[in-house]
Structure 1
Amino acid sequence: MTEYRDVYLLKKVDSDANTGNPFDKKADYQVASKAVFCRVNNLGLQKQALLFGGDSIYQDAKTVLVNGHCQADKLAFVDEYDPVTKKGIVYDISMPRRHANSTAFFIFNSKSKVG
């Protein structure tokens, strides 16, 4: 089933803890841009096994087609994530593919791994 949703494209930034220790840095993700009206398809367990060989299967996996050429380290849906408090579901990205006028992402919630 195809649905259309708005997504945040998140980029990785380094944030330091102001302790003076260069090893106290942790990865943080900030909203780089917002993409509207993106095509989203849910991937079932069987389709994931056929497409990716069954290495890692997730309960919550989707493909997202974003208009234009864009880069992101993670994705979040506008209705599931608050960029101010940074609370909500953030999806990991695997296999971004650029097409003529769009970018396709395979995204998954790493907390929903089943196999």
Structure 2
Amino acid sequence: MAVLRAEYEAVRFPLQLVEDVGMAHLDQRAPLRLAYEKMLATADSAAAHLLDDEAAATRACALRQRTAAVRVTVALRKRRTQQRLEAEGAARMERWRRHRARLRPGRG
């Protein structure tokens, strides 16, 4: 088990380096960064479970906590945008109906 843990740490090091050097420069809401962090958390969770690695479990938990608020913010912003677009579409449709009713009195 110790050998497998050491191998996982050896594989994990370059992934962490990419996170620290590359992904850290991206906006926290960037889809690429969120996807990468999700992949890291999943890998750490798997290592924690399969290798009984407490350090990996701690990293996975910390990463999920750090990104959870960002994911919620992104989802809420996306939902608000969708609601705004739907409201704008409904308002346009209503304006069109009123315009059409004015052009065709009695056919409403």
What TM-score range do you get, normalising by the shorter chain? under 0.3
Q: Which has the higher contact order (CA 8 A, sep 6+)?
A: 1
Query: Would you tell me which structure has more strand in proportion to its own residues?
Result: 1
Greater C-alpha Rg: 2
More helix by proportion, 1 or 2?
Answer: 2
TM-score (norm 2): 0.25
